[in-house]
Amino acid sequence: MSTVDPARSRQPLVATVRDKPLTSARIITLIAIVVPPLALLSVTGLLWGVAVGPIDLIMFAVMYVFCGLGITIGFHRLFSHRAFKTTRFMTAFWAIAGSMACQGPVTQWVTDHRKHHALSDKEGDPHSPHHGFGPGWKGVVKGLWHAQVGWLLTTKGLERGERYGKDLYADPLIRRIDRLYLLWLGLSLGIPALVGFAWSGGSVWMAFQCFIWAGLLRVFVFDHLTWSVNSICHMYGRRDYATDDESRNFWPLAIPVFGEAWHNNHHAFPGSARHGLHWKQIDLSWALIYGMEKVGLVWDVKVPTEERQELRKAKGEAAPGGAAPADPA
């Protein structure tokens, strides 16, 4: 479900609050981008010849899944697109889990994403790899770089006003969780260290090792895989639906990003809680949403029927240029 009327995308949509990211936001973003690989390189010499411990791998997996689903189910399908409804407790749970992925507070992530849908691959899209980078291979490289990393320092967090996030700013629970964002960052990195410390019976070295692998490296891996949806899934892959942007389905990314790589499906039906619309399209986020629906934790789950999917394909084929606006789920 597109949050903003597509017709409004013709208007000159610029930042509603600021024309560049806050300095503090840039610093935090730089830390998230630069520190994990530097820490990994620096610690490689210390860990050379030493196998990664089982607790490192266990905590990497646990934190990766917890924080990752916080983004895909919470920030994306719940808060950005209202693809289902849930309790206030679960609302807080998903908001905190997503915040611990170190991709920014709820309101910032959602307003950026809603603007992306309103202007997908057009002027004003925060992270399109297509607009304004010139022709040829140099343009492709510049576009991919911007969509992967560059936008984090230039166009991220510009839309902080009511245009794309009025519902979130009006929610005192979300505002409270946003104000505690630095706490969630601390927990995201601190929990692995505490578990490593406790697991080893008080070894500071094990705490540090777990902090590196299940903290910094985990943030680096998941965040770059998520940002690959912005870059790769708007450049390479299959288009099952003729949308008015360049969104594509890229199956190799589907499992590590919990179903977000069925990106063309998502842009065709933005409000759908299910992105892997075909039974062969693995969507782990949808599997959990489906399970939560069965036990009553979520309701009013939006998924397009097969008839609507076929109608959407036919609409795209009949539209001028083979493209059609997004269809609500």
Q: Which DSSP string do the residues of 120-157 spell out, in sequence order?
A: TTSTT-TT-SSTTS-SHHHHHHHHHHIIIIIHHHHTTT
What is the percent of the chain with per-residue pLDDT over 90, rounded to a whole number? 61
- Is residue 210 a contact partner of residue 55, using CB atoms and an 8 Å limit? yes
Q: How many CA atoms lie within 13 A of 221 on its CB side?
A: 18
Mode of pairing for the β-strands spanning 298-299 and 85-86? antiparallel
Domain membership of residue 132 (yes or no) is: yes
Based on its alpha-carbon atoms, the radius of gyration of the chain, rounded to whole angstroms, reads 20
Cα–Cα distance measured from residue 105 to residue 112, given in angstroms and rounded to the nearest whole number: 11
Domain residues for the domain of 109 are 6-322
Cα–Cα distance measured from residue 60 to residue 56, given in angstroms and rounded to the nearest whole number: 6
Identify the bridge partners of residue 249 per DSSP, sorted by sequence position.
238, 262
Q: Which of 189, 264, 183 is nearest to 219 (CA)?
A: 189
Q: C-alpha distances in angstroms, 130 versus 134, 197, 233?
A: 9, 46, 12
Give me the pLDDT at residue 157, please. Answer: 73
What is the percent of the chain with per-residue pLDDT over 70, rounded to a whole number? 79
pLDDT of 293 strictly over 60: yes
Domain membership of residue 61 (yes or no) is: yes
Domain membership of residue 135 (yes or no) is: yes
- Is residue 161 a contact partner of residue 14, using CB atoms and an 8 Å limit? no
pLDDT per residue as tens digits for the range 195-224: 999 999 999 989 988 998 899 889 989 999
Domain membership of residue 90 (yes or no) is: yes
State residue 220 phi and psi, 5-degree precision. Answer: -60, -45
Average pLDDT, integer, range 62-86: 98
Cα–chain-centroid distance for residue 204? 33
- Is residue 105 a contact partner of residue 99, using CB atoms and an 8 Å limit? yes
Torsion, Cα of 177, 182, 187, 190 (10° steps): 180
Q: Which DSSP string do the residues of 62-123 spell out, in sequence order?
A: HHHHHHHHIIIIIIIIIIIT--SEE-HHHHHHHHHHHHTTTS--HHHHHHHHHHHHHTTTST
Domain membership of residue 206 (yes or no) is: yes
At residue 12 the predicted structure's pLDDT band, cuts being 50, 70 and 90, is: very low
pLDDT of 299 strictly over 50: yes
Model's pTM, two decimal places?
0.86
Cα–chain-centroid distance for residue 105? 12
Residue that has been written with the tokens 């990106």 in this structure: 263
Q: Which of 27, 44, 55, 60 is nearest to 220 (CA)?
A: 60
Domain membership of residue 329 (yes or no) is: no
**How many domains does the chain fold into?**
1
pLDDT per residue as tens digits for the range 224-256: 999 999 999 999 999 999 998 999 999 999 999
Domain membership of residue 1 (yes or no) is: no
Q: C-alpha distances in angstroms, 313 versus 5, 81, 244, 266, 267?
A: 21, 21, 13, 13, 13
